Structure 1
Amino acid sequence: MLKGVTVKVSEMDFLGIKCHLFLFVFINSVFISEQTKVEVLLDMRAARGELGWLTSPYSDGWEIVQRVVNGSQLYTYSVCKVEGGDQDNWLRTTFIQRAPAATRVFVELGFIVRDCNSFEGASLTCKETFNLHYAESDADVGTSFHKTQFRKVATIAPDEITAGAEVQVNTETRTVGPLSQKGFYLAFQDIGACIALLSFRVYYKVCPATVQSLASFPETVASGGAGNGESQALREVTGTCVENAVSQEQPRIYCTVDGEWAVPVGHCQCRAGFEPAAEACRECRAGFFKESVSSEQCEPCPVNTEQSAAGSLSCQCKEGFYRAPKEPQTAACTAPPSPPLNLVAMTIPTSAGKLQLSWGPPADTGGRDDITYSVACERCERAACLPCGEKVRFEPGASDLPVPRVGVSGLEPLLNYTFTVEAHSGVSQLSDRQSTASVTAALQYTDPPKVTSMRVDKQGSTSLVLSWTISQRALPQNTRYELMYRKKEKDSEKDVTTYTVLVLEKNSVQISDLAPATAYLFRVQAQNPVGGSGTYSDEFKFETLPEESKTPGNTAVIVGAAAGGGAMLFLVVVVLLIRKRKRNPTARQGVEDTYFSNSEQLKPLKTYVDPHTYEDPNIAVMKFASEIHPSHITKQKVIGAGEFGEVYRGALKAPGRKEVAVAVKTLKPGYTEKQRQDFLSEASIMGQFCHQNIIRLEGVVTKYKHAMIVTEYMENGALDKYLRDHDGEMTSYQLVGMLRGIAGGMKYLSDMSYVHRDLAARNILINSSMVCKVSDFGLSRVLEDDQEGTYTTSGGKIPIRWTAPEAIAYRKFTSASDVWSFGIVMWEVMAFGERPYWDMSNHEVMKAINEAFRLPAPMDCPSALYQLMLRCWLQDRSKRPCFNDIVNLLDKFLRSPDSLKTIADFDPRVSIRLPSTSGSDGSPFRSVSEWLESIKMSQYSENFTCAGVVTMEQVLQMKNEDIRNIGVRLPGHLKRIAYSILGLKDQTSTLSVFAV
């Protein structure tokens, strides 16, 4: 696409500039780079004859210029009425037939715009832009031309302005739609510029027939169709899989508005035995295979397999080789392992009844690395061998051993044990190959260890119950103990060695017939079953109790202590509960509490800093905004005009970051220092915010001649215009989701003690993902730290229709006044961008509000949502909900969609305000076109005329089916016209808005 073609030539005085050859150069090159397949509906260059376009006014507006260049007839249109101001010059095309499937078309313009500074004395009235409009029709209306039938598409601004001898040719492309009727007209409106229209082409794009991901898709007209943000530029197309390919779901792809295929869904895959090749599926070659449906290539047969035939699904293993049950056909075939090597059994000297088995890995693993081992045990006595049973234990286990060793315990001495170790792999169960090794081992008895401790388990006046422990070493079965004890004489000289000896089968004993209050000495040794004895233990001294002694009765003491402790604990708990209730007054709230919280609750710490408090505002900009070098910014197209200059769509490519789309606000030349500071103060404000529903500041340009503010780019623009363009296309649930995002952003601002002051749908931007973000902080100010939490303005304009009554009357703004504005935004959203209070003057709006009148519920508005609006519009600001309450309530609606099903009462006479364009005496509408214009449906004037509905009496007889039959198909437009007719039938002489 050409941008700003510059040509130096002569021979033709065109708009005061010599330019002849450049027309031929431009017209013959501007469309050469177009590679997308297009279908042209109208081409100014290809017409080669009188175009027959209408001009208004007929003799004092646009002019047609005819020239012959290289034997070709070329036509251009020009207008240059830059003096006098208030220009309104129209140029309308002939009727353009629409292809049935083309619901959106592209308009490509080549034009020149003269620099207003080149006209002496006319710089104040001169303009450098013009407007593009369109109107739909089911029939060619010939020379009939009505401005009110046209809808604006865009304001066309040049990228390059012609100032001297060098002619700057601009090319712009705009999209027109959605289109639903048989054809349409395009019109150019000049409001005081010096313009030459050199080329003009209307076309739609076509996605060519294609095969993608093994799916075949037919040629399709590129069109957006109606829908919400993400899907409006896509057309879904279904396809079919190529031969020998299948898909689990119907293959689909989307044809974009640019004539390109995008986002394929449900890819086709080649069947088993076939592989993709050049958008087709071909048979696997011999020696290759593919076992399942996929987009993968055929694979060569793995090792140890037989050669496969063409189109094979698998490769068979050679004899003696196998695949594990869960292994895919792509796995190599393997064999079971050979037996383990060098199996040995080693006794553990310090542990009785234990030994250690160890072995080496198999010499042949069969090509596998999942080798494990299992151990089996048999106990042999004389000629009989039996399984060892549960008494013999293996550490860490008897099977699935990953390492070549295992510990064995619980063995008895003097018996032969045979241990068999088997190696396993994933294919062992598929083969008869033996992979075992065996070893036989026997344990000998050793002297038992020494008893290390003895204790009294029960003590009496004539008896003692004793038990003892032995060292950690395990003991064989049938171990016995020899206990010796004697009385300890009080006179050491008489302390003789007179022992009583007991042989015991276990490590505990009860000894009776002892003397009361007497000390005894005990020692013990362990003996193995074949008579071997361990070392005697040291002597342990224990005494019997006196005969009169009794065990102290502690029960009463324990019960008393427990009762006292319980009473004390109860008192502590009661005191803590009372203190907690005093500290937390909200604990006293009952079920009557609503979503609307106490406005006196503590607010978070104030974190916002007003840049106007800085003595040098430039310091605030440096502190809160990042500086961007202008070379990193590319301005692409004018998308609007701000208070200080134009707004561009552009691209930001910062070092180390990928390129992102941005919006660039510029400061027009000739600014004062105060204007520059006011311009950059908005960046100082935005730079302090970081929230998904607040417009994001990318940075600023302040150190160069042209100051700029760079923010994220919101593809769908202002919310009010977006809603008007998609009237009736979204459900209440989707609209509540938008409101939830706006409320979330306002809650964030409110939590920072920040007042917006200009909250309206026009200041909400929406991106391609349908996320709404609060923007435009030109009127915003921080809350002061006074008790009222207000900010008193020093003057300036106030948006009356969106402003709370206390802010209008006293110029005091709070977060509660922002809540009032949010209620108006809710009404705008549910009314699809309708203007609040319609055409009432600001004075009438203020008077109605002060008399307690409020806006009525919009058409199809859920009752619960309208009740929330009325809460936001309460006269007493202290009773309005805060933004935290609003977020919670909207979340509740989104969690329970059934709460949105009840619709608020609707009066079409009030909502549409029918008398607004009627006679001053309130008489009925004089014509159908006047009525349609009053309800902003003038684009259907031609439909009513072609259907023969030309009087208001005929309008009053129409039903919904009649409206649909004349070509009104959009649900929102159908409802608006139907409700208006209903209101006309009941119309009274005066109408007003609902009272609360």
Structure 2
Amino acid sequence: QMDSRGIKRLLFSYVLINGIFITLQTKEEVLLDMRASGSELGWLTWPFEQGSKQGWEVVQRSLNGSQLYTYSVCNVGEHEQDNWLRTTFIQRRPSASRVFVELQFIVRDCNSFDGSSLTCKETFNLFSSESDADIGTSFRKGQFKKVATIAPDEITSRNELRINTETRVVESLSRKGFYLAFQDIGACMALLSVRVYYKTCPATVKSLAAFPETVAGGGVNQALREVAGACVENAVSEEPPRIYCTVDGEWVVPVGQCQCMPGYEAVNDTCRDCQPGFFKAFVSNDACELCPVNTKLLSSGALLCPCAEDFYRAPDDPTTGPCSGLPSAPRELVATTTQLAAGKLQLSWSPPEDTGGRSDISYSVECRRCEGTACQPCGEKVRLEPASTGLMDTRVAVSELEPHLNYTFTVEAHSGVSLFASQGLPRSNRPPSTSTLTTALHYTGRSPYLGVIVRSLTSLSLSWAVAPRRLMPQPTRYKLTYRKKDDNLDVTTYTVLILEKSSVQISDLSPGTAYLFRVQALSPEGSPGGSSIEDEFETLTEEKRTILGFWSEIIITDVSFLLFRRRNSHSRQGPEDTYFSSSEQLKPLKTYVDPHTYEDPNMAILKFASEIHPSHVTKQKVIGAGEFGEVYRGILKAPGRKEGAVAIKTLKPGYSEKQRQDFLSEASIMGQFSHQNIIRLEGVVTKFKHAMIVTEYMENGALDKYLKDRDGEMPSFQLVGMMYGIAAGMKYLSDMSYVHRDLAARNILVNNNLECKVSDFGLSRVLEDDPEGTYTTSGGKIPIRWTAPEAIAYRKFTSASDVWSFGIVMWEVMAFGERPYWDMSNCEVMKAINEAFRLPAPMDCPSAVYQLMLQCWLQDRSKRPRFPDIVSLLDKLLRSPESLKAIADFDPRVSIRLPSTSGSDGSPFRSVAEWLESIKMSQYSENFTCAGVVTMDQVLQMKNVDIKNIGVRLPGHLKRIAYSILGLKDQTSTLSVFAV
């Protein structure tokens, strides 16, 4: 639906992603459409009375079967033509400070006229004028300012009609409306269509935040408009989400991420509740998780999954983890008497068969003693070592037992959920967390406990002891029985000795043989008492007797050797190895292959680059010049690939074979890289006469020129974002052990999305595997202003020298493409660096960013940050925009190379224009002239408000001119006079 005002139009572009077409929208709001207005244009022509001169007039034309009204003028035979055509008053939407003017027109070829048309022109001019109200037929040329000179791409001859379409931008609109005017200076032309519109960023949802439709661009002289959004339903954000709308109607740099609330997960642009059987406990954009084992499966939207019946979580268990069952009972409880100790035994058992899914199993042992039918806790009378509770091992030593008593030992298994599960329940009702194993034994007392004192090849010396018993006498004799351990004989021979003391030496035994001994106490009357268990003791062999000393010597020798090696391994590392051998930054395996190592360089091309037939490449126009030839913008249309714009590097005629190999070696290098911040190689043309390298096309060209054209127009946040992309690309290269050697803003390319990509690998070299990790050049040019001092002095390049260069690139970015070290010579630069001079902070540079630059420029390369550190720091700054508000100290006398009251040759400035040209602000010459500021004395009297009043609105330009005037006036003047 179209009408003469307020027409909305959607432009669709189609992107093929994974075989699916995705539509992207850019919205236009039309303010004026000449063609839609028909014959009711009512535009004003000037001069009002033409006399004999014929000016603009309305003409009805038939074009492609349709009738339309056009404005035409053709007075090529008259001198000094000055015909004006003014539109009606065009209302401006308050937030639309930038509009587009689309013109369709035809211009007749001046050569098609006879000799009487010597004054014929083939161009016309576009003007604009702002106003707060419709001024009707009032018309003064002085009210208008020139927008552009319009020249046709195609000229109409007598026999063929050629229609031209051109679009121009009118910026910095701030009043309620404006007029457009067209000045004819002697052309024969027809204005077929004039369409005035502005762009909007359409309503969208990004990162779970909804943003309304917004007029493109910021306010007056601002490239970006910040737009606040709101999180979608069931999503929250720590800081209000916001995004920037560019002048081209595109959303960029979203800030503040919305995340789904607990119980919800991100699905497309919404937060959907977790499905049954799934949960999410925290605010995040993670997907809902499947409920862990041993939990209840709740309905949708679950924050947590509670434990199923008879399963528990310990207090310190994560609420999102699985639930645990209680352990089963311990197994195989065994009581074993010990030797040479009265009233002592050892309890041991095996772990539970089922631990309930936990590893924090512990044990407790309960002792009860019984005399007759009465049982009671053992209390402190019986000692359990190391403890009776909290046992992590499956054994405990029991001592201080009394003879002729019955003892019951109960072992319980516990886990982290046992106490939690049994709280408040009596013992009889406790859950099976107190899994028990009980053993009962009768301790007779007065039983001897055997022990061996000395062993030799043919003898064993034994002794024993008997636990005392209250009111009972000690035994006076003992019966010792022993035999040779031999399980293969059916007949066993015992030796029995009756002894009156508690020790004996048994001789005439066989070496290396095991014997079994038992001792029994005899009462004074000769009746038998308690008997020991049958214990095994073995005589020594010759080898066993000497082996202990042998291994002791070996162990001591080995320890000394290891200590010696450790001392020597530390002594080999020098201080310069720190950059490469830090435990936190170990060098990765080298994955890059230097094409110069190939005996035949063509083999490297075949391996790392795809061959393109020249018929698939179309060169359109020259966009630059490289070391080997011109660089073109072109189109790549290869079978199976989508047609797209590319950059084409060519090899100039008359090249040598070495030049051809050097030219193609850059493609062999690029072909090994795959990263969004490294320029992408599309392919090469090598099998035909004219060699070419085809790469992706970067619409905005080199970073230094891009920044110079936008001096002061971009916020620090956006500049830091560009630095982050460059650092990410360099981290990728350094991870591949690759040194660029020529990192500079001129070698960084920028695309339409303001993504920065590292390019130009002509000077690049690979790190070798030596401990220093350097590459020593044999000659060649070194970019002094961007190169680290150790690389200049010794021609050694490392990732640390690339970090130095990255610091210079950061300075270039914050200074909007200013030349590092200004007009200093290379010798002056090297001398200044060696004397510890460092580039000062650019205007409005965040303090955190400048501090990172200084770290990159440390003289000791081992102390410079690594690229992973740089990427991490820049990421933190981008995540916390508040950290960019603190501005580094700025001294205009150093930070900008301001002229004094004279030019570069020492003579005073002869004109205001010459002064403006010296500070690269010559575009404002007409502003100064129109304001009557035509002498340098008048310039010196200007203040900040005066600069604004003559039409300097861009903050960066305003500061540059103001600081320059400060330098012109007095080097000791205060900055506050010209504070912006």
User: What is the TM-score with the length of structure 2 in the denominator?
Assistant: 0.52
Aligned to 1:73: 68
Q: CA 1:978–1:384 in structure 2 vs 1: closer, same or farther (change >3 Å)? A: same
Aligned to 1:978: 962
2:707 is equivalent to residue 723 of structure 1: yes
Q: CA 1:451–1:666 in structure 2 vs 1: closer, same or farther (change >3 Å)? A: same
Q: CA 1:68–1:930 in structure 2 vs 1: closer, same or farther (change >3 Å)? A: farther
TM-superposed deviation, 1:435: 3.6
Aligned to 1:532: 531
Give the Cα separation in 1 of the matches to 2:319 and 2:828.
78
Judge conservation of contact 1:321–1:334 (CA < 8 Å) in 2.
Answer: no
Give the Cα separation in 2 of the matches to 1:836 and 1:371.
64
Judge conservation of contact 1:912–1:935 (CA < 8 Å) in 2.
Answer: no
Secondary structure of the structure 1 residue equivalent to 2:95 = coil
Q: Residue type of the partner of 1:648?
A: R
Secondary structure of the structure 1 residue equivalent to 2:952 = coil
TM-superposed deviation, 1:207: 3.8
Give the Cα separation in 2 of the matches to 1:294 and 1:823.
35
Find 2:760's aligned residue among 765, 772, 775. Answer: 775
Give the Cα separation in 1 of the matches to 2:462 and 2:361.
45
Equivalent residues in 2 for 1:218-617, closer than 5 Å:
218-223=212-217, 235-239=226-230, 248-255=238-245, 259=249, 263=254, 265-267=256-258, 348=334, 354=347, 377-381=366-370, 382-388=372-378, 410=398, 415-417=406-408, 419=410, 427-429=421-423, 433-435=429-431, 441-444=439-442, 453-455=452-454, 501=499, 503-504=501-502, 526-527=519-520, 530-533=529-532
- Over residues 199-236 of structure 1, what are the superposed CA-to-partner deviations in whole Å (9 max), with x where a residue is unaligned? 664433334567888876544223267999xxx66633
Equivalent residues in 2 for 1:846-885, closer than 5 Å:
864-865=838-839
Aligned residues between the structures = 768
Q: Residue type of the partner of 2:648?
A: K
- Over residues 145-173 of structure 1, what are the superposed CA-to-partner deviations in whole Å (9 max), with x where a residue is unaligned? 999x76999x9999xx999x999999898
Judge conservation of contact 1:347–1:443 (CA < 8 Å) in 2.
Answer: no
2:663 is equivalent to residue 682 of structure 1: yes
Judge conservation of contact 2:102–2:168 (CA < 8 Å) in 1.
Answer: yes
Aligned to 1:664: 647
Give the Cα separation in 1 of the matches to 2:183 and 2:809.
32
Aligned to 1:924: 910
Give the Cα separation in 2 of the matches to 1:908 and 1:346.
87
Judge conservation of contact 2:637–2:643 (CA < 8 Å) in 1.
Answer: yes
Secondary structure of the structure 2 residue equivalent to 1:531 = strand
Aligned to 1:993: none
Judge conservation of contact 2:449–2:464 (CA < 8 Å) in 1.
Answer: no
Equivalent residues in 2 for 1:171-190, closer than 5 Å:
none
Q: CA 1:336–1:679 in structure 2 vs 1: closer, same or farther (change >3 Å)? A: closer
Equivalent residues in 2 for 1:731-750, closer than 5 Å:
none
Secondary structure of the structure 2 residue equivalent to 1:205 = strand
Equivalent residues in 2 for 1:720-869, closer than 5 Å:
720-728=704-712, 762-766=746-750, 771=756, 773=758, 775=760, 777=762, 789-790=778-779, 832-833=816-817, 864-865=838-839
Aligned to 1:491: none
Q: Residue type of the partner of 2:706?
A: Y
TM-superposed deviation, 1:958: 0.7
Judge conservation of contact 2:127–2:144 (CA < 8 Å) in 1.
Answer: no
Aligned to 2:695: 711
Judge conservation of contact 1:92–1:185 (CA < 8 Å) in 2.
Answer: no
Percent sequence identity is 38
- Over residues 568-622 of structure 1, what are the superposed CA-to-partner deviations in whole Å (9 max), with x where a residue is unaligned? xxxx99x999x989x98999xxxxxxxxxxxxxxxx9x996679x999x866744
Q: CA 1:477–1:856 in structure 2 vs 1: closer, same or farther (change >3 Å)? A: same
Secondary structure of the structure 2 residue equivalent to 1:865 = coil
Q: Residue type of the partner of 2:376?
A: L
Give the Cα separation in 2 of the matches to 1:815 and 1:316.
63
Give the Cα separation in 1 of the matches to 2:810 and 2:937.
36
Q: CA 1:706–1:731 in structure 2 vs 1: closer, same or farther (change >3 Å)? A: same
RMSD: 8.6
Q: CA 1:766–1:899 in structure 2 vs 1: closer, same or farther (change >3 Å)? A: same
- Over residues 820-843 of structure 1, what are the superposed CA-to-partner deviations in whole Å (9 max), with x where a residue is unaligned? 9999999977864457999xxxxx
Judge conservation of contact 2:100–2:197 (CA < 8 Å) in 1.
Answer: yes
Q: CA 1:197–1:31 in structure 2 vs 1: closer, same or farther (change >3 Å)? A: farther
Q: CA 1:527–1:174 in structure 2 vs 1: closer, same or farther (change >3 Å)? A: farther
Secondary structure of the structure 2 residue equivalent to 1:443 = strand
TM-superposed deviation, 1:467: 7.4
Give the Cα separation in 1 of the matches to 2:348 and 2:697.
77
Judge conservation of contact 1:162–1:168 (CA < 8 Å) in 2.
Answer: yes
Judge conservation of contact 1:205–1:258 (CA < 8 Å) in 2.
Answer: yes
Aligned to 1:205: 199
Find 1:647's aligned residue among 628, 632, 642. Answer: 632
Secondary structure of the structure 2 residue equivalent to 1:687 = helix
Secondary structure of the structure 2 residue equivalent to 1:206 = strand
Give the Cα separation in 1 of the matches to 2:738 and 2:307.
73
TM-superposed deviation, 1:889: 8.9
Secondary structure of the structure 1 residue equivalent to 2:530 = coil
Aligned to 2:3: none
Secondary structure of the structure 2 residue equivalent to 1:864 = coil
Where structure 1 has 5 or more consecutive residues not aligned to the other structure, the ranges are 1-26, 82-88, 120-128, 458-463, 486-496, 512-521, 542-565, 567-571, 588-603, 793-797, 804-812, 839-844, 869-881, 988-996
- Over residues 380-407 of structure 1, what are the superposed CA-to-partner deviations in whole Å (9 max), with x where a residue is unaligned? 3134433356968799997799xxx987
Give the Cα separation in 1 of the matches to 2:779 and 2:811.
25
Q: Residue type of the partner of 1:640?
A: I
Give the Cα separation in 1 of the matches to 2:608 and 2:73.
48
Judge conservation of contact 1:236–1:253 (CA < 8 Å) in 2.
Answer: yes
TM-superposed deviation, 1:982: 4.4
Judge conservation of contact 1:828–1:835 (CA < 8 Å) in 2.
Answer: yes
- Over residues 888-940 of structure 1, what are the superposed CA-to-partner deviations in whole Å (9 max), with x where a residue is unaligned? 7986999999997474844989649965899xx96732xx5665456443444
Give the Cα separation in 1 of the matches to 2:177 and 2:255.
32
Judge conservation of contact 2:700–2:749 (CA < 8 Å) in 1.
Answer: yes
Judge conservation of contact 2:279–2:305 (CA < 8 Å) in 1.
Answer: yes
TM-superposed deviation, 1:724: 1.0
Give the Cα separation in 2 of the matches to 1:269 and 1:289.
12
Aligned to 1:871: none
Give the Cα separation in 2 of the matches to 1:204 and 1:933.
33
Which structure would you say has the larger RCO, counting Cα contacts within 8 Å and 6 or more residues apart?
1
Aligned to 1:960: 944
Secondary structure of the structure 1 residue equivalent to 2:957 = helix
Judge conservation of contact 1:715–1:766 (CA < 8 Å) in 2.
Answer: yes
TM-superposed deviation, 1:39: 1.8
Give the Cα separation in 2 of the matches to 1:258 and 1:206.
8
Q: Residue type of the partner of 1:765?
A: L
Give the Cα separation in 1 of the matches to 2:212 and 2:128.
31
Give the Cα separation in 2 of the matches to 1:467 and 1:980.
106
Secondary structure of the structure 1 residue equivalent to 2:239 = coil
Secondary structure of the structure 1 residue equivalent to 2:62 = strand
Secondary structure of the structure 2 residue equivalent to 1:235 = strand
